[in-house]
Amino acid sequence: QAVGNNKPVIRISTLAQTPEKANVYLQPLLNFAAAHVPRVKHKETPLYILCTAGMRLLPDSQQAAILEDLVTDVPMEFDFLFSHSHAEVISGKQEGVYAWIGINFVLGRFDHAEEEDATVEVTTGSTHQQPISRRRTVGIMDMGGASLQIAYEVPSAVTFSSPQEEEAGKSLLAEFNLGCDVDKTQHVYRVYVTTFLGFGGNMARQRYEDLVVNSTLASNRLLGSQTGLSQDNPSLDPCLPLGLSDTVARDGRTLHLRGQGDWSRCQSAVHPFLGLHNGTMSPRGIYQAPIDFSNSEFYGFSEFYYCMEDVLRIGGMYDSLKYARAATDYCGTQWSTLKQRLESKLFSQQADVTRLKYQCFKSAWMYEVLHSGFRFPKDYPSLKTAQLVYDKEVQWTLGAILFKTRFLPLRDLQQEVFRQSHPSWLRSSFLYNHHLFSVCVLVVLLAILLYILRLRRIHQREQRQSEVLDLLWVEEGEALLA
């Protein structure tokens, strides 16, 4: 995103009809980078422009037009190391992998293991190589408003029960090398990553409300009742706090709801929305790689953290029993009491009326996603919910730059230049450095030549002095004889 002073937030995907403005859109960010990277380092500083979900929604032709404008115009104003291969629209799978790399890098899980570290045995897939023991990496779960994502390492070789499962599973597994050499396998990682669209907290609530409206109206037509059509005769909703009155509007129809605050019934109500098929989520039965729950660790971000911390105030290490008790108590508390607590600032600063209204539903949804969808044991001890890691927000962009430059130490920069397509602006940069190198060599050779000439003159002068001395000695000897 690019944000100007007192200007609305825009996204690069909004430039689909005016791709020629893409360079202008990124200019403030590139100006910032140019000002903070020493100018003499610009030519050897890689620049990557990676676009995510908004661009993925555009047709391929519009994506290509925007990227082409960037590849053409950016090098005209900036000297960063940039080419066609450095500008792309990344997939949801790539974004998940980059997020996984980012947090594990910050946590130091790519460092070599010490004796006290938790480790895993990793199969390499080669019959000639023994399993590798290295630090245990962490998996991540991120629930936003619209989608849900999970990514974790699969250290053991994966077996599939059918060709269909193999085809689906391989598309969700990413294998990559984070070592300093493409031939080294010590840091080859196999990561499962997938995104569940519509499984975010807000979208799940919308799907739930759609069902409530449709089922209530259908029941009214069948029974001839008027349930939910007025405030005096509301439809009872177990996923709203006790005593809360709310309305839902769909297709010009308004349904009145009254909260029951029954967390266990809410769990049962949201469970069908997981779309479980053969034990996995979604109607298509998305393949889920096995998790070694006895030797794994996970971090939960976004809604996983908000559900635990904003209202319940138990963010951090997840305890299913403690969480269920806190959620049950919250849902069963009178709405008027909850509003008083909000006014008394007994919740976190991020909590507002909307959070209070949907906390009961979202806490049940998170619980069902975790234990019924991802099949985490209820006694799983190694899930931590967080907003920051070491007081910093970890973004996928950190993992992206680490991945993109993993084989690019400065000493290999020239190889990276040759690997690219050699556009004219890169060729001129290379020729400039080549000529500079030639001049330096010429100066050194000239200095050596001058030094040799000087030594020769000194030698000739000393030889002449020696001849003069010899002559004087001869003359002095002749004088004595006379």
Write the pLDDT tens digit of every residue in 145-166. Answer: 988 999 999 988 787 777 877 7
- From edge to edge, which strands make up the β-sheet containing 235-237? 235-237, 253-259, 245-250
Determine the pLDDT at residue 466.
62
Given a contact cutoff of 8 angstroms between Cβ atoms, the answer to whether 44 and 81 are in contact is yes
Tell me the mean pLDDT in the region 26-46.
Answer: 93
Tell me the mean pLDDT in the region 88-95.
Answer: 90
Q: Which residue has the tokens 């909703």?
A: 237
Determine the pLDDT at residue 45.
92
Q: Please state, in angstroms and rounded to a whole number, the distance separating the CA atoms of residues 196 and 303.
A: 14
- Give the H or E element holding residue 245: strand 245-250
Tokens of 255: 């349904």
pLDDT at 474 over 70: no
Q: Reduce the secondary structure of 65-108 to three states and give it as a string.
A: HHHHHHHHHHHHHCCCECCHHHEEECCHHHHHHHHHHHHHHHCC
pLDDT at 100 over 60: yes
Tell me the mean pLDDT in the region 338-365.
Answer: 95
Given a contact cutoff of 8 angstroms between Cβ atoms, the answer to whether 327 and 360 are in contact is yes
Q: Please state, in angstroms and rounded to a whole number, the distance separating the CA atoms of residues 18 and 65.
A: 9
Is residue 115 flagged as an active site residue? no
Determine the pLDDT at residue 9.
43
Classify residue 97 by burial, with Cβ atoms within 10 Å: 0-12, 13-18, 19+: buried
- Do the domains spanning 12-89 and 93-201+268-396 agree at the CATH topology level? yes
Give the β-pairing of 49-51 and 87-89: parallel
Determine the pLDDT at residue 171.
86
Q: What is the dihedral of CA 272, 274, 279, 283, to 10 degrees?
A: 90
Tokens of 349: 């600063």
Domains of the chain by residue range: 12-89, 93-201+268-396, 422-455
Q: Please state, in angstroms and rounded to a whole number, the distance separating the CA atoms of residues 451 and 441.
A: 15
Determine the pLDDT at residue 394.
86
Tell me the mean pLDDT in the region 249-277.
Answer: 92
CATH 1.10.3720.10 corresponds to the domain 93-201+268-396: no
Reported confidence tier of residue 183, pLDDT bands at 50, 70, 90: low
Tell me the mean pLDDT in the region 435-442.
Answer: 71
Question: Poorest-confidence range of 91-95, 405-409, 447-451?
Answer: 405-409
pLDDT at 241 over 90: yes
Residue type, 213: V
Determine the pLDDT at residue 418.
46
Determine the pLDDT at residue 406.
81
Tokens of 341: 């607590």
Determine the pLDDT at residue 435.
60
Tell me the mean pLDDT in the region 460-469.
Answer: 63
Instruction: Return the sign of the alpha-carbon dihedral for residues 260, 264, 265, 267.
Output: positive
Q: Which position among 44, 77, 88, 95 bears the catalytic label? A: 95
Determine what percent of the chain is predicted with pLDDT higher than 70: 84
Residue with the larger pLDDT of the pair 328 and 117: 328
Residue type, 319: D
Determine the pLDDT at residue 21.
92
Supply the mean pLDDT for the chain.
Answer: 85
Per-residue pLDDT reduced to its tens digit, 4-25: 333 334 578 889 999 999 999 9
Residue with the larger pLDDT of the pair 231 and 415: 231
Residues annotated as binding site for ATP? 145-149
Class of domain 12-89: alpha beta
Reported confidence tier of residue 468, pLDDT bands at 50, 70, 90: low
Q: Please state, in angstroms and rounded to a whole number, the distance separating the CA atoms of residues 402 and 100.
A: 11
Per-residue pLDDT reduced to its tens digit, 378-430: 999 999 999 999 888 888 999 999 999 887 754 444 444 444 444 443 344 44
Determine the pLDDT at residue 107.
94
Determine the pLDDT at residue 198.
87
pLDDT at 286 over 90: no
